[in-house]
Homo-oligomer: A and B are copies of this chain.
Amino acid sequence: VTRRERALAVADGRTLVSADPATVSWLTGHVPDIEIGPSPFSAPPIVVLDPEGRVRLVVSEDEAGGLDADVEAVTFPGFAVEDVDRRARAVELALSLIGDGPVAAELASLPAALVQRPFDDVGRTLQRARAVKDPDEVEAIRAAIAVTDAGQAAARAAFAAGRTELELWHETRAAIESAAGERIPVLADLVTGPRTAEVGGPPSTRLVEATDLLLVDLGPRVAGYWGDSCAVVALGEPPAHVREAHAAAYEALEGVKALVRAGASSAEIDAAARGTLSYPHHTGHGVGRTYHEEPRIVPDADRVLEAGMVIALEPGTYGDDWGVRVEQVVLVTDDGCEVLSGHDLNL
């Protein structure tokens, strides 16, 4: 079952419409520029999947490249010199593609002007349909994780007393983009010393001290798919309570990986990790066209894992002035999981 077949199953005879960037990417191959926010003189792409399986993308002529082979681009003017209302034009084009039949929509993503009659909202169903990856998606995630591994190695190598967190970040990001061969978006926590107690945060001008911890959580997007991993590194010999906490987080990670397999319950996996550790965040989440996606691994959202899901697992534990977290990405298989992350998890 390919992703397009899964989308058609959600649509169930209706025309499917979405402007959610993840769904658009998933169905068309479009990789949006995201690092600078939405363009004020453009409009987000809108994907239309008709019941026969044809995929069309309403998109700026500037962004119509790189689509999957059988996706048709229906374009509005790009960012050039014309003074036209590109958002209105995108809505007009999408309306002309949708026609008069029943529509299944990712409603929260659609511009209000597009919704002139009742559409069935299938947003959450689609989020779940994206959770199982096709083989080409798994390969793309492997490539993103190789880049993530390069970032983890660079952060570890750069970590030294007297440097700022920003300096560590710049070397880490340079290694990530050099591995990718291009400028790419990166989701990142990079905190040192007592800031590790805050779970995460952006790099600051804080100077690394001689006995600091570094907590580094990296998620680069490579060719439209996200990697994700976290490690904690210590300068010098950390105190016993930190070593013990790190060992406990590592054991919790090993413990939840042992539970992962097709048919496993995400709530039970979450409970297993929380039984030994305390942390104010998810135990894990899907990774793919978004950095956080289904299946969420949290206490009150039970999901049954399926083969082909790709999930990040990240138990941690945090004190008053320290914090540790270890994270790997795994591919769910019929009888267990394959660990995709290859970075160093040692303290």
Residue in B108, B115, B178 whose CB lies within 8 Å of A115 = B115
Q: Determine whether the beta carbon of A177 is less than 8 Å from that of B170.
A: yes
Over the window 279-302 of chain A, the binary record of Cβ atoms lying under 8 Å from chain B Cβ atoms (1 yes, 0 no) is 011100000001111001011110
Over the window 181-222 of chain A, the binary record of Cβ atoms lying under 8 Å from chain B Cβ atoms (1 yes, 0 no) is 111011110000000000000111100000000000001010
Residue in B32, B83, B127 whose CB lies within 8 Å of A37 = B32
Residue of B nearest to A119 (CB): B112
Residue in B108, B185, B298 whose CB lies within 8 Å of A83 = B298
Alpha-carbon distance between A32 and B139 when the two chains are bound, in angstroms = 32
Tell me if A169 counts as interface (CB < 8 A to partner B). yes
Residue of B nearest to A164 (CB): B178
Residues of B within 8 A of A114 (CB): 112
Q: Determine whether the beta carbon of A202 is less than 8 Å from that of B182.
A: yes
Tell me if A80 counts as interface (CB < 8 A to partner B). yes
Question: Is the interface on chain A under 10, 10 to 19, 20 to 34, or 35 or more residues?
Answer: 35 or more
Alpha-carbon distance between A186 and B33 when the two chains are bound, in angstroms = 12
Report the minimal beta-carbon distance from A271 to chain B, rounded to whole angstroms.
12
Report the minimal beta-carbon distance from A222 to chain B, rounded to whole angstroms.
13
Residues of B within 8 A of A40 (CB): 20, 22, 127, 290, 292-293
Q: Determine whether the beta carbon of B87 is less than 8 Å from that of A36.
A: no
Residues of B within 8 A of A182 (CB): 166, 202-205
- List residues of A (64-118) whose CB comes within 8 Å of B's CBs: 79-83, 85, 87-88, 91, 107-115
Residues of B within 8 A of A177 (CB): 166, 169-170
Tell me if A241 counts as interface (CB < 8 A to partner B). no
Report the minimal beta-carbon distance from A133 to chain B, rounded to whole angstroms.
16
A-B contact pairs, 16 of them (CB 8 A): A22-B40, A34-B36, A36-B221, A43-B108, A80-B281, A81-B281, A81-B282, A82-B300, A83-B301, A107-B112, A107-B113, A108-B113, A109-B111, A110-B112, A166-B177, A169-B183
Chain A residues engaging chain B, CB cutoff 8 angstroms? 20-22, 32, 34-41, 43, 79-83, 85, 87-88, 91, 107-115, 119, 123-124, 127, 166-167, 169-170, 173-174, 177-178, 181-183, 185-188, 202-205, 219, 221, 280-282, 290-293, 296, 298-301
A-B contacts besides A40-B127, A82-B298, A166-B183, 4 pairs, CB < 8 Å: A81-B282, A110-B112, A182-B202, A183-B203
